[in-house]
Amino acid sequence: MLADAEGLTAEDAAFVCIFGYLGFKKEQWPVLGKLDDWNRDAWPMPVFTQTARGSVKPVRVFYDPDDPSKVIRRELIRPDEPTDGPESGSFGHVAVSIRLGNLLSGAGQWPDVVQYPPPRQIPRGLVATLTRPEPEAGDDQGCLTIQAGACLKEVFATRTDEGAEGSGYDWASLTRVLIDERAPELADRVELDPDAQELLVFSTDMEALKKLKILLEQLVDSPKDARALFSKAELE
């Protein structure tokens, strides 16, 4: 519980990452309270590492301490320098929960604090979930969640030398081209919010989200078309 966190320091962290907020929004991560003696200065923003992928060289990534979504600068890591450090990029809340559960299971009451799903096999095909807005909770936007890594691996593999790996960012790049070429009317009606594990698409227009879901399902059934579109995508 909250008392278990008293006295912990940044050096005690079992896992360091930047993550999305859906665990709190969906009330899957309970808020335990606030530590009276917590000092932000004792928990500085760490320097993250982007590992080498294909022709992309490893770099250190420096994030804004006041806005983790903003990168201040990147520094190339020389071959004779270590590449240790937390992984750069944003993790989905499910990925964080699973990672923490695997790291900390059996440690005190932790499994009761963080509710995480058990590890599972990623299903084949497009893994997409539509969530309707909840006006009673002050939420006027629906959400289409695309789970990265479930399909089109061979499509994303065509640009691994540029850093593509089938992440939520790559799905966002592909989706933007799909919208531009096949549904330009959706461009101003949806908002894409990717991270390393998934792509979230928000909109106040549920019909727009439904149409985009259908277009993505059709694209998954036609890898040739997906490859052609992804070849035009600007990678994030």
Q: Does residue 119 fall inside a structural domain?
A: no
Indicate the DSSP class of residue 195: -
**CA atoms of 232 and 177, how far apart (whole Å):** 7
Q: Does residue 212 fall inside a structural domain?
A: yes
12-68 pLDDT tens trace: 888 898 887 777 877 778 888 888 888 888 999 999 988 755 556 788 889 999 888
> Are residue 140 and residue 100 in the same domain, yes or no?
no
pLDDT exceeds 50 at position 177: yes
Q: Domain containing 88: what range?
A: 3-104
Q: Is residue 93 classed exposed, middle or buried when 0-12, 13-18 and 19+ CB atoms within 10 A define those classes?
A: buried
pLDDT exceeds 90 at position 133: no
So what's the pLDDT on residue 4? 81
So what's the pLDDT on residue 56? 60
Higher-confidence residue of 32 and 230: namely 230
Is residue 93 within 8 Å of residue 55, measured between CB atoms? no
> Are residue 226 and residue 133 in the same domain, yes or no?
yes
Q: Which residue has the tokens 């278990």?
A: 4
Q: Does residue 172 fall inside a structural domain?
A: yes
65-88 pLDDT tens trace: 988 878 898 888 888 888 788 888
118-131 pLDDT tens trace: 444 444 578 888 88
> Are residue 86 and residue 143 in the same domain, yes or no?
no
How many domains are contained in the chain? 2
Q: How many CA within 13 A on the CB side of residue 177?
A: 18
Q: Does residue 236 fall inside a structural domain?
A: no
Give pTM, 2 decimals.
Answer: 0.54
Higher-confidence residue of 137 and 3: namely 3
> Are residue 141 and residue 49 in the same domain, yes or no?
no
> Are residue 134 and residue 39 in the same domain, yes or no?
no
**CA atoms of 233 and 219, how far apart (whole Å):** 15
Q: Does residue 80 fall inside a structural domain?
A: yes
> Are residue 161 and residue 226 in the same domain, yes or no?
yes
Local confidence band at 107 (pLDDT 50, 70, 90 cut-offs) = very low
> Are residue 137 and residue 201 in the same domain, yes or no?
yes
Local confidence band at 93 (pLDDT 50, 70, 90 cut-offs) = confident
> Are residue 155 and residue 191 in the same domain, yes or no?
yes
Mean pLDDT of the chain: 82
> Are residue 185 and residue 99 in the same domain, yes or no?
no
Q: Does residue 57 fall inside a structural domain?
A: yes
Q: Does residue 87 fall inside a structural domain?
A: yes
Q: Does residue 115 fall inside a structural domain?
A: no
